[in-house]
Amino acid sequence: MPLDSEPLRKLGFLTIGLFDGNDPGPGHESTLDIIELGERLGFDSAWVRHRHLQYGISSPVAILAAATQRTSRIALGTAVIPLGWENPLRLAEDLATVDILSGGRLNPGFSAGPPMHYDRIKHALYPHTADLEDLGYDRARRLLDFLRGEPASDFSGTEGFEVFSDQVQPHAPGLADRLWYGGGSLRSAQWAGENRLNFLCSNVVKAEESEDFAKIQLAHIRTFRAHHPDGAAARVSQGLVVIPTDSASLQQRAKYEEYAHKRTPRTATPQGPMRLMFAPDLVGTSGQIADQLHAHPAFQEVNEVAFALPFTFAHEDYLQILHDIATNLAPALGWQPAMTT
């Protein structure tokens, strides 16, 4: 397993892509601008969240299709697509199409399970089959199979002037190796490993064997790798909210500290019937955050990260945070910009 002295190899960031419901265009443009900036700063990957019936990105695949035309190098990921909202066959076609457009840069992340507030939306999502839908791991396996080239039809060949394939088209070579599972429990970590996926460590986890967030995240990493054919070499990306303040104004620093302070109580004890634990937000200078990360048991076993941008900040705040991550924090963790490697 990686040592605590191993340098950070891949640097990513994650954004929710907020927008004004009365004027959604600028928010979507802001997201695309941020992804373009990430490429210029040398980030290895940019990830977008998935939000339905909210004022955040509802169609990450469409956003990333646009991003493929504005970038040339940076990997583009989803963190994560909840499959309970999706038809795996149609999603496989969309993902493969965007991967082709990107030149093989798509990193789809997904999760299984019922959609949030399922009882309130199932009549709209599945009006006649809501109680029959399989929302668990079998739905995820269907997506895996389609992207790995398993047949989706029992017919292929020519019918009149039309030619049909029994596999999802277009086929995107290598895409199946770039699939990520977003997990927050020991069971999900084990399933991801057994199914040869990459693993996105969530910053929201279930308190199963501990009430210490770092220890829980570490247990997920080790469980995943214990069940993955590649063992210690299996890819894991850690998710945390980090907010460096090196170049922030006094007003920005006050905003960031207030944001983290309001969210801190939920990090102290398990929340709700599912006993969810939330990661503390890391706010401070890059040197301070680097020290905290080097002491973090889970960070010591990964060499990839996808640092999450806070939900409710302004566009200029995100520009400052990304700049400080790329120019101060990440180098302190041993990372070098992709453009110079």
What's the whole-number mean pLDDT along residues 101-114? Answer: 97
**Tokens standing for residue 43:** 């980030």
Rounded to whole angstroms, the Cα distance separating 241 from 329 reads: 13
What's the whole-number mean pLDDT along residues 299-305? Answer: 96
Q: How confident is the model at residue 88 (pLDDT cuts 50, 70, 90)?
A: very high
Global model pTM greater than 0.85: yes
Mean predicted lDDT score pLDDT of the chain: 95
Rounded to whole angstroms, the Cα distance separating 337 from 154 reads: 47
Domains and CATH numbers, the chain: 10-153+165-340 (3.20.20.30)
User: Rounded to the nearest 10 degrees, how much is the dihedral formed by the CA atoms of 51, 270, 329, 250?
Assistant: 80
pLDDT above 90: residue 289? yes
Which secondary structure element, helix H or strand E, spans residue 62, and what is its range? Answer: helix 60-68
Q: What are the angstrom distances between the C-alpha of 35 and each of 12, 38, 238, 258?
A: 10, 5, 19, 26
Rounded to whole angstroms, the Cα distance separating 285 from 287 reads: 5
pLDDT above 90: residue 339? no
- Do residues 93 and 169 lie in contact, with contact meaning Cβ atoms separated by under 8 Å? yes
Share of the chain above pLDDT 70, in %: 98
Q: How confident is the model at residue 1 (pLDDT cuts 50, 70, 90)?
A: very low
Residues 6+ apart with CB under 8 A from 247: 320, 323, 324
pLDDT one-digit tens code per residue, 122-154: 999 999 999 999 999 999 999 999 999 999 999
What's the whole-number mean pLDDT along residues 60-73? Answer: 98
- Do residues 303 and 330 lie in contact, with contact meaning Cβ atoms separated by under 8 Å? no
Give me the pLDDT at residue 340, please: 44
Give me the pLDDT at residue 184, please: 95
Q: How confident is the model at residue 6 (pLDDT cuts 50, 70, 90)?
A: confident
The gap from C-alpha 158 to its chain's centroid, in whole angstroms, comes to 40
- Interhelix angle for 250-263 vs 315-324, to 10°? 90
- Interhelix angle for 24-41 vs 315-324, to 10°? 10
Residue from 105, 109, 114 nearest 181 by CA? 109
pLDDT above 80: residue 69? yes
Beta bridge partner(s), residue 180: 109, 198
pLDDT one-digit tens code per residue, 181-220: 999 999 999 999 999 999 999 999 999 989 999 999 999 9
For residue 123, how many other CB atoms are within 10 A of its CB?
10
First to last CA, the chain: 23
pLDDT above 60: residue 177? yes
- Interhelix angle for 88-102 vs 137-147, to 10°? 40
pLDDT above 80: residue 21? yes
Give the 3-state secondary structure of residue 15: strand
Give me the pLDDT at residue 3, please: 44
pLDDT one-digit tens code per residue, 266-284: 999 999 999 999 999 999 9
What's the whole-number mean pLDDT along residues 294-316? Answer: 96
Residue from 144, 145, 146 nearest 168 by CA? 146
Q: What are the helix (H) ranges across 248-341? A: 250-263, 286-294, 315-324, 330-332
